[in-house]
Structure 1
């Protein structure tokens, strides 16, 4: 019987699986009319949310500087995924909001992720896929959706 793999292989395999899903997602998004979308954009649009937010709050949610958040917002604005508007409660503040194009891209991403999950389930088998996901949920309890991943990869 072979020995257990080295401990460092586990995070690498998890990262490779994550990268495969993200790369496949973005290839499909490009085919379906969103060629400018990048992995960081999904984190940013999720952090903006349906209510919108300010660049300062966006930076805090993502664990990045206000300037980095502003640069990404400018890119998303140029691509038509977000817009800036005056805050109705304070005309000095700008609120970043998702456009209909941005909302559509998030909905499309969700459908594509469902398709990718289905592909993995066909490869592993439904029972094994369910067990795999249950095991990951048990190991990552309380960590459902961390938006600060971009900041975590920084300095």
Structure 2
């Protein structure tokens, strides 16, 4: 996904409801993460939740997307007191549209998985900034700074 691209015409599941991603409005932060309740993903979701009020004050929505089920998201949200919306992309349509379903390797084993990535769309719905292969520490703060600069 290149700068200037628009929010893909895909539908995700939020709170057990099918929601077109573009209907969430803009500006919008869409972050992809591999799996609910794993160390890095929990830290990232908590960081975005901590800054949720600051994103809202800047008029920017935030949604996290993984291939986990709505039930998994509900459990993850309740366990960690998350305040950001989490969307399910069980069939991988959003992952494919954003190009984050990639070959990964761990301990010499190759497999397909979600690349941790974040996309910031401006008020006109076009991609303003993308972060690929995200490192969690300080990431939510960097995204907030970029969102405020829109």
* Shorter-chain TM-score range: 0.3 to 0.5
Higher relative contact order (CA 8 A, sep 6+): 2
Structure showing the higher strand proportion among its residues = 2
TM-score (norm 2): 0.35
Q: Which is higher, the Rg of structure 1 or of structure 2?
A: 1
**TM-score, normalised with respect to structure 1:** 0.34
